[in-house]
Amino acid sequence: MSQPKLSHLAGTLVGSEIVKLGNAISERIRNGEKIYNLTIGDFDPSVFPIPAELEKLIIESYQQHNTNYPAAEGVLDLRKSVSRFIKEWEGLDYAPNEIQIASGGRPLIYTIFKAIVDKGDKVIYGVPSWNNNHYVHMNEGEHCLIECTPENDFMPTAADIQKNIKGATLICLCTPQNPTGTTLSKSVLTEICDLILEENKQRGDEEKKLYLMFDQMYWTLTYGETRHENPVSLRPEMKAYTIFVDGISKSFAATGVRVGWSMGPEFVIQKMKAILSHLGAWAPMAEQKAVAKYLLEKESISQFLTNFKTEISFRLRTIHEGFMALKTKGYRVDSITPQAAIYLTIQLDLTGLTTAEGSQLNTQSDVTSYILGEAKLAVVPFSAFGGGSKSPWYRLSVGTCHKESIPEMLSKLEEALSKLR
């Protein structure tokens, strides 16, 4: 019997591939199987708890009965604190009326699209990237995909964007990037900003301008010599065309606390506020009040980030070095030097090889299944991020990784690789 007909969107929208994969792995774990589950773009609170001071402030906020509706744009205390925080830490000047609070980054991204993108509007984004394909689909925009390559750290180049910029309404950039853990360099981001500014100069007053959605949710998590760059610091004129996506989710291992913010031109922020007011996707009042206080605790934040980044960097670097050692031994694997975020880009280029049982790995899906079954290693293929079904590249997330398990995980991976011919 056929299903009743629903909306076109309901009938065509694909659910999150990552959530689907995660659910399947969780089921195996529940059945007693030991899995090194490095698929989740989240944190295990037993490994990476939120800052103790933030936890204390949230509890106190509930005890103070901050449980009613917050203002649609976010409580003023929090918007003032965000304004001060980004000024002190990034040198960005945004007034409270240029800041919108929401329950994490997702509703902000959704409302940026809703405020800017009409049906048929061209949206430029690189692949692999997190969920841009779904947001474009939900808004019936025109997908303009840039196939990014390992030579450019899976980031779009200015030349890539220049080829597609005519007629575009929105460019989506994420740096540090989910899923790759790589960043846009100062020079490339500056070139992209100049392209946007030049394109907007050429558009008439009645023509829709080209905007940049700049997702910097991971901006505090950079390692070694890597520096986070943002468009408004590089080109102040970009303030008129840039809408940031930011928040505490990744900076403070606080994904479940659900406090995010956007900064942008006031007239865009006001339209986002109107849309969000109908969705009710605001951050909880108690958490907003607590975060408003915590963002002013500069010394506490510095101490937390120092330890937090050290622990994440150790995991990324150790696993990267393990993969490079396997590559040196002749196995068909690779890894991009970790730069930022909680992700490592790894390669499992194993199609065409044959297992000990005589089965050939004909597809990348076969490779994913083999590595999960034999090495008990669960990672997310770039195909889940729009990277194409044949891509041998994967996202490996360390947010739930116990560092003590890394040697065993690498040993099991080598054992599984050694069985292939």
- Parent domain of 31: 8-48+302-418
Name all contacts of 272-277 with Cβ < 8 Å and 24+ positions apart. Answer: 272/100, 272/108, 272/111, 272/112, 272/114, 272/115, 273/72, 273/73, 273/100, 275/111, 275/114, 275/115, 276/72, 276/100, 276/102, 276/107, 276/111, 277/72
For residues 90 and 12, what is the distance between their CA atoms, to the nearest angstrom? 40
| CATH code for the domain in which residue 226 is found | 3.40.640.10
Domain count within the chain: 2
pTM of the model: 0.95
Per-residue pLDDT of the chain (421 residues; tens, 9 = 90+): 677 889 989 888 877 777 777 777 888 888 888 999 999 899 999 999 999 999 999 999 999 999 999 999 999 999 999 999 999 999 999 999 999 999 999 999 999 999 999 999 999 999 999 999 999 999 999 999 999 999 999 999 999 999 999 999 999 999 999 999 999 999 999 999 999 999 999 998 889 999 999 999 999 999 999 999 999 999 999 999 999 999 999 999 999 999 999 999 999 999 999 999 999 999 999 999 999 999 999 999 999 999 999 999 999 999 999 999 999 999 999 999 999 999 999 999 999 999 999 999 999 999 999 999 999 999 999 999 988 889 999 999 999 999 999 999 999 999 999 999 9
Contact (Cβ atoms closer than 8 angstroms) between residue 282 and residue 103: yes
Q: Of the candidates 114, 191, 194, 104, which has an alpha carbon nearest to the alpha carbon of residue 155? A: 191
- Structure tokens belonging to residue 277: 């007011």
Which residue among 269, 297, 325 closes a domain?
297
Domain annotation covers residue 106: yes
Instruction: Answer yes or no: do 14 and 135 share one domain.
Output: no
Instruction: Answer yes or no: do 315 and 222 share one domain.
Output: no
Instruction: Answer yes or no: do 124 and 255 share one domain.
Output: yes
Cα three-residue angle 344-349-351, rounded to 5 degrees: 145
Instruction: Answer yes or no: do 157 and 283 share one domain.
Output: yes
For residues 310 and 190, what is the distance between their CA atoms, to the nearest angstrom? 29
Q: Position 155: which residue type?
A: M
Instruction: Answer yes or no: do 171 and 98 share one domain.
Output: yes
